[in-house]
């Protein structure tokens, strides 16, 4: 974390922030497509494996991704799962663009659970669902719990350099989300570019892109997978119903009511 405290954030940086399994790679790809008017082949994938991952992660050289980013040219696009209070301090003084994506916590939980258990084939590393959910709801969760993480950014949604978007919005009306991002980022998309973005940013479009990356990129699997698990999963809204018990669902509903009361934030998961 010391490295992040001194990380030189730039005014033209674009930072995608999410709680884990809330659309990180999807949003990052959408922004790349917006920057390139939908021409997916013009997107420059990381040429250095030391640059792959969240800025807080440690790469194979033992350094954080943020350190590897120091020498990258502007404008930079990178992502993180860090809660608001742990972002590099210069994020706020430089007013870098923050694109925060939230996802209903029930779907985020089940996606995170499957992701963690799918990263390894070792049975000893598998986490029972009940244990995972208990940790997910507690302050012991990695990156903190969903409630504190989401509210930390929600409370800054009106800042000029922050935009707050939901995963569910992206699923329901990606066209409108793209237009919002276009205005927020100060970019211009042609009508033809918009159609290209919608095509390539669909789940099927991204799967095709990622399959090509795995085949052609020197270390493509590091971009498209974490361990054995593809970073692209099903991207469902409402998939939580396959795993949550009635009691677990009611417990989270109660916590949502208590934590979000008076904040104006709603969790869309029905």
Spatial distance between the Cα atoms of 244 and 72, rounded to a whole number of angstroms: 43
pLDDT above 70 covers a percentage of the chain that reads 94
- Mean pLDDT (the chain, rounded): 90
93: pLDDT strictly greater than 80: yes
What is the mean pLDDT of the segment spanning 72-82? 95
Q: 97 phi and psi, to 5 degrees? A: -70, 125
- 3 state DSSP class of 101: strand
The predicted pLDDT at position 121 comes to 61
What is the mean pLDDT of the segment spanning 15-29? 95
List, in order, residues 6 or more apart from 228 with CB less than 8 Å away: 118, 119, 120, 121
Which helix (DSSP H) or strand (DSSP E) does residue 175 occupy? helix 174-185
The catalytic site residues sit at 81
* Least confident interval from 38-47, 76-85, 136-145: 136-145
Q: Which comes out higher in pLDDT, residue 81 or 61?
A: 81
- 3 state DSSP class of 18: strand
Q: Hey, which residues does 228 pair with through a beta bridge?
A: none
Q: How confident is the model at residue 130 (pLDDT cuts 50, 70, 90)?
A: very high
SS3 content of the chain, % helix, strand, coil (to 5): 50, 10, 40
Burial status of residue 215 (CB atoms within 10 A of its CB: 0-12, 13-18, 19 or more):
exposed
* Least confident interval from 25-39, 52-66, 81-95, 190-204: 52-66
* Least confident interval from 59-73, 102-116, 255-269: 59-73
Contact 190, 196 (CB under 8 A): no
Contact 120, 228 (CB under 8 A): yes
CATH of domain 2-260: 3.40.50.300
Domain ranges for the chain, please list them: 2-260
């Amino acid at each position: 974390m010391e490295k992040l405290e001194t990380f030189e954030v730039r005014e033209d940086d674009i930072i995608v922030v999410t709680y884990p399994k809330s659309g990180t790679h999807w949003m990052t790809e959408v922004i790349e497509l917006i920057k390139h008017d939908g021409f997916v082949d013009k997107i420059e994938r990381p040429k250095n494996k030391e640059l792959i991952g969240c800025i807080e992660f440690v790469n194979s050289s033992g350094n954080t991704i943020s350190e590897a980013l120091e020498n990258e040219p502007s404008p930079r696009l990178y992502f993180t799962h860090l809660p608001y209070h742990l972002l590099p301090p210069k994020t706020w003084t430089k007013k870098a663009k923050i694109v925060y994506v939230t996802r209903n916590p029930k779907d985020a939980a089940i996606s995170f659970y499957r992701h963690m258990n799918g990263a390894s084939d070792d049975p000893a590393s598998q986490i029972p669902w009940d244990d995972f959910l208990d940790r997910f709801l507690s302050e012991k969760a990695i990156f903190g719990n969903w409630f504190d993480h989401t509210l930390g950014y929600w409370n800054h949604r009106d800042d000029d350099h922050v935009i707050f978007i939901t995963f569910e919005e992206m699923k329901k009306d990606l066209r409108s989300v793209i237009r919002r991002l276009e205005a927020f980022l100060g970019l211009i998309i042609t009508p033809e570019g918009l159609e290209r973005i919608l095509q390539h940013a669909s789940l099927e479009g991204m799967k095709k892109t990622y399959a090509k990356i795995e085949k052609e990129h020197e270390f493509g699997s590091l971009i498209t997978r974490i361990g054995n698990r593809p970073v692209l999963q099903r991207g469902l809204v409402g998939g939580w119903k396959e795993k949550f018990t009635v009691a677990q669902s009611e417990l989270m509903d109660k916590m949502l009511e208590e934590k979000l009361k008076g904040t104006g934030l709603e969790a869309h998961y029905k």
